[in-house]
């Protein structure tokens, strides 16, 4: 092992009770991710990928099991502590962009930095916008941007606070193939430049092929873990 794993997952279980029914979405998932790895999580729709990612990011709490992020145990943390962990350690890219509609592109990018209470973040935000080719659109509102452009803003936002881990949930799922390819290219380039650990959820085999490792999920359990070149 070159270094300590940055993500450690042990016996992760998530079940949801809805009335009399209990649905087990994740059933004992466990794996480690070393620092700097690009890992793709694949699986058919409904296999629990998004749920897993949500738990990794502390967006939801697990029913059982443990998650250690960058040496910090996050299971059992309170809402606000989780929020701080997210702010410091995780960047996020969603399938449906999730920009704040009332903020401009630049303001959206600045947001994580401002929430963390940093100093002047403008130079970095502008630089990131430039890397995603949107300098000219910085004062536009999300509604004035195309889907691909919105997702590029989201990319810039995800890297803004220099998180050690980046999580992406089907970031190209809502985009046509050309735009999807462009976004992915930018994502990988930024990831290399910033040296981030990338966890990418996708059901697109071509996309997953670029990853250093593929974790396969089915019905809430890990059914495959391929380390590549």
Nearest to 148 by CA among 106, 193, 109, 187: 187
Per rule CB under 6 A, is residue 25 in the interface with ligand ADP?
yes
Q: Do residues 200 and 168 lie in contact, with contact meaning Cβ atoms separated by under 8 Å? A: yes
* Shortest CB 49 distance to Mg ion, Å: 5
Q: Do residues 88 and 161 lie in contact, with contact meaning Cβ atoms separated by under 8 Å? A: yes
Per rule CB under 6 A, is residue 89 in the interface with ligand ADP?
no
Per rule CB under 6 A, is residue 112 in the interface with ligand ADP?
no
Q: Choose the binding region for ligand ADP from 38-46, 114-122, 144-152, 180-188 (rule: CB under 6 A).
A: 38-46
User: What x/- string results for residues 76 through 115 when contact with other proteins is judged by CB under 8 A?
Assistant: ---xx--xxxxxx-x-x-x---xxxxxxx--x---xx-xx
User: What x/- string results for residues 46 through 85 when contact with ligand ADP is judged by CB under 6 A?
Assistant: xxxxxx----------------------------------
**Cα 177–chain centre separation:** 20
Angle between helices 122-131 and 147-160 (to 10 degrees): 140
Residue that is written with structure tokens 């029913």 in the block: 63
Per rule CB under 8 A, is residue 50 in the interface with other proteins?
yes
Name every residue whose Cβ is closer than 8 Å to that of residue 148 and which is 6 or more positions away in sequence.
175, 179, 182, 183
Q: Do residues 155 and 100 lie in contact, with contact meaning Cβ atoms separated by under 8 Å? A: no
List residues near other proteins by CB under 8 A. Answer: 18, 50-51, 53-54, 57, 59-60, 79-80, 83-88, 90, 92, 94, 98-104, 107, 111-112, 114-117, 141, 143, 157, 161, 169
Q: Which residues bind ligand ADP (CB under 6 A)?
A: 16, 18, 23, 25, 43, 45-51
């Amino acid at each position: 092992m070159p270094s300590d794993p940055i993500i450690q997952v042990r016996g992760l279980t998530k079940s949801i009770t809805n009335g009399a029914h209990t649905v087990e979405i994740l059933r004992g998932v466990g794996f480690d991710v070393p620092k700097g790895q690009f890992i793709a999580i694949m699986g058919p729709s409904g296999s629990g990928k998004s749920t897993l990612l949500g738990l990794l990011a502390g967006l939801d709490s697990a029913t059982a099991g443990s998650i250690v992020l960058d040496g910090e145990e996050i299971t059992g943390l309170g809402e606000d502590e989780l929020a701080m962990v997210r702010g410091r350690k995780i960047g996020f890219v969603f399938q449906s962009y999730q920009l704040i509609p009332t903020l401009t592109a630049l303001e959206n990018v600045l947001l994580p930095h401002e929430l963390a209470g940093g100093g002047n973040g403008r130079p970095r935000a502008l630089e990131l916008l430039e890397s995603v080719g949107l300098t000219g659109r910085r004062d536009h509102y999300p509604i004035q941007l195309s889907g691909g452009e919105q997702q590029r803003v989201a990319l810039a936002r995800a890297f803004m606070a220099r998180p050690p881990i980046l999580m992406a949930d089907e970031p190209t799922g809502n985009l046509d193939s050309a735009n999807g390819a462009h976004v992915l290219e930018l994502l990988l380039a930024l990831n290399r430049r910033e040296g981030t650990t990338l966890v990418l959820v996708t059901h697109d085999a071509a996309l997953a092929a670029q990853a250093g490792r593929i974790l396969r999920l089915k019905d809430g359990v890990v059914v495959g873990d391929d380390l590549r070149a």
